[in-house]
Amino acid sequence: MSSPVAEFMLDVTARNPGEREFLQAVEEVLESIVPVLDRHPEYRSARIIQQLVEPERVVSFRVPWVDDRGQTQVNRGFRVQFNSAMGPYKGGLRFHASVNQSIVKFLAFEQTFKNALTTLPMGGGKGGSDFSVRGKSDEEIMRFCQAFMNELFRHVGADTDVPAGDVGVGGREIGYLFGQYKRLVNRFEGVITGKGLAWGGSLIRKEAAGYGTVYFAQEMLARRGESFAGKTVAISGYGNLGFHALEKLNELGAKVVTIADEDFYIHEPDGFKGEKAAYVHDLWMVHHQTVQAYSEHWNVPMQPGRPWAVPCDVAIPTAAQNEIDADDAKRLVAHGCKLVVEGANMPCTPEAVDVFRHHGVLYGPGKAANAGGVAVSGLEMSQNSARSNWSREEVDRRLREIMKRIHDACLETAESYGQPDDYAAGANIAGFLRVANAMQAQGVV
Ligand code: GLU
């Protein structure tokens, strides 16, 4: 760690004790922006960094609900409104047993830069609950979503804070959340993105994070005169993002050879094609099942652990934070992986990223590569405001353009700060400059 960062991190650590993921995300950004602060001392004197690492608002609340046995359950809900310099707070809701304040703060912090990279007018926020959708009935999910919204509604709004989905929050949950919001405020407004097509949603929104990640990776390959045709790709999570990445990769002639849940993975050496791909579509998004169901249905053994020991040309982690550590990274390198692109948020530990840098593996950071989801959320907001609907082709074209723009901004910024091909530095610096300039222009608020 460079010494100005180490010194600053002492203070951030003292103010956010035990928030491991949040501190990791902050440190990663700070490391990248040291050269910016050297070149622009005005950010230091305006204490932009001190302001930037402090969320504008953190809301934590009780979510009581009644399960199918009539038993009261109590979960904890969060909404972190991190930064509104670029627009209304924007970012997903995550429902997963692992959710805590550190995780929502790290996600909201990252979201601030990710959203800035899209160049659409969106600030950064994130929320969620330690509620797990797995094993719950539809009625339980509905009661939980309604209870969650009973508090959240007072903090959000189409021009204030616009949540969306994330891990554990798909079309069904968005529907229940939106319905309860509408009932409480008596207004039909674009308060959430990822809505159904018949009630304000956008075409391509559900595909956007997965397609966008692949479009970003395509740009990285194209710059080296390569394409996905014939490439072997390892992915992990097979939810909304993972499945749609798989679908686009199949379309581009790649072979996706793995999917994984938290404990096991499946290796399909010939790829998940045709009926197998259709089965993967339903596995989480319809049935909320683990890879055990796939293993039993297709008679393919499931393997314990993570999928990163499987030989591949490209790895696209699509599950959770810190799912690739230094040992996984070494295995990927040893088996010939040349490109790692983050579909999930912060899936590679800093040590893993060091391994990739050291071995010349090209690395696309999540806050740039997976920005397609929130980018199309931004397009959904525009369509809601204009009360219009764009065609599938129109939204897809805009998504591609945005991903290319983000890719080019990362490269150009990295280059201008003397770190050619360092997409992580480029993403952090480009995102930082946009947010910092907006904050400075708006004064001490
Ligand atoms: N959860 C997604 C993300 O991490 C989407 C957020 C949104 O659409 O607001 O970017």
For 95, the token pair is: 């429902």
Question: In degrees to the nearest 10, what's the CA dihedral of 278, 284, 288, 293?
Answer: 60
> Which atom of ligand 1 is the closest one to the Cα of 165?
1
Same domain as 115, residue 88: yes
In this structure, are residues 129 and 167 in contact, taking their beta carbons and an 8 Å threshold? no
Q: What is the pLDDT of residue 3?
A: 80
Q: Atom 10 in ligand 1: which residue has the minimum CA distance?
A: 374
Note whether residue 156 is domain-resident: yes
What six digits make up the tokens of 366?
């999540």
Q: How far apart are CA 433 and CA 162, in angstroms?
A: 23
- Where do the H-state alpha helices sit in 224-320? 240-251, 274-285, 291-298
29 in the same domain as 165: yes
In the chain, the number of structural domains is 2
Q: How many helices (H) and strands (E) does the chain have?
A: 17, 12
Together in a domain, 176 and 211: no
Q: Are residues 221 and 174 in the same domain?
A: no
For residues 96 and 224, membership in a common domain is answered with no
Decide whether any atom of ligand 1 lies within 6 Å of the 373 Cβ: yes
Residue corresponding to tokens 């309860």: 180
d(CA 364, CA 353): 10
148's CB contacts (< 8 A; 6+ apart) are 63, 75, 77, 129, 131, 177
Residues 136 and 73 in one domain: yes
Same domain, 32 and 68: yes
Of 310, 338, 360, the residue at which a domain comes to its end is 360
* Ligand 1 near 28 CB (within 6 A): no
The CB-side HSE value for 388 (13 A sphere, CA atoms) comes to: 8
One domain, residues 184 and 210: no
Q: Whose alpha carbon is nearest atom 9 of ligand 1? A: 91
Task: Using alpha carbons, list the distances in angstroms from residue 208 to 54, 86, 194, 343, 354.
Answer: 30, 21, 10, 11, 29
56 within 8 A of 86, measured Cβ to Cβ: no
Residue 348 has a pLDDT of: 98
Is the CB of 377 within 6 Å of ligand 1? yes
CATH number at residue 262: 3.40.50.720
Predicted confidence at residue 95, as pLDDT, reads 98
273 is catalytic: no
Say what the pLDDT of residue 60 is: 98
Residue type, 235: I
Any ligand 1 atom below 6 A from CB of 193: yes
Q: Does residue 142 sit in helix, strand or coil?
A: helix
Please report whether residue 116 resides in a domain. Answer: yes
- For residue 41, give the 3-state DSSP assignment: helix
**What's the Cα-to-Cα distance from 37 to each of 51, 115, 306, 439, rounded to whole Å?**
14, 21, 39, 15
Last residue of a domain, one of 333, 360, 387: 360
For residue 59, the CA-to-ligand 1 centroid distance in Å is 19
- 388 found inside a domain: no
- Residue 218's pLDDT is 98
Residue 166 CA, ligand 1 centroid: distance in Å: 6
Q: Is the CB of 399 under 6 A from ligand 1?
A: no
Residues 180, 213 within the same domain: no
> Mutation test of ligand 1: which of 86, 111, 162, 384 has the most ligand atoms closer than 8 Å to its C-beta?
111
From first to last of its 445 residues, the chain has per-residue pLDDT tens of: 678 899 999 999 999 999 999 999 999 999 999 999 999 999 999 999 999 999 999 999 999 999 999 999 999 999 999 999 999 999 999 999 999 999 999 999 999 999 999 999 999 999 999 999 999 999 999 999 999 999 999 999 999 999 999 999 999 999 999 999 999 999 999 999 999 999 999 999 999 999 999 999 999 999 999 999 999 999 999 999 999 999 999 999 999 999 999 999 999 999 999 999 999 999 999 999 999 999 999 999 999 999 999 999 999 999 999 999 999 999 999 999 999 999 999 999 999 999 999 999 999 999 999 999 999 999 999 999 999 999 999 999 999 999 999 999 999 999 999 999 999 999 999 999 999 999 999 999 9
Q: Do residues 152 and 127 make contact, with C-beta atoms less than 8 angstroms apart?
A: yes
Answer yes or no: do 217 and 159 share one domain. no
Q: Which residue, among 337, 279, 285, 281, has the nearest Cα to 307 in the 3D structure?
A: 337
In short, whether 91's Cβ falls inside 6 Å of ligand 1 is: yes
Residue 196 in any domain: the answer is no
374 Cβ closer than 6 Å to some ligand 1 atom: yes
Is-contact 281 243, C-beta < 8 A?
Answer: yes
**In ligand 1, which atom is closest to the CA atom of 370?**
10
Q: Is residue 404 part of a domain?
A: no
Q: What is the CATH number of the domain that holds 128?
A: 3.40.50.10860
The torsion defined by the Cα of 101, 106, 110 and 111, in degrees rounded to 10, comes to -10
Structural domain containing residue 297: 206-360
Same domain, 19 and 59: yes
By most ligand atoms within 8 Å of CB, the mutation choice from 80, 90, 126, 166 for ligand 1 is 166
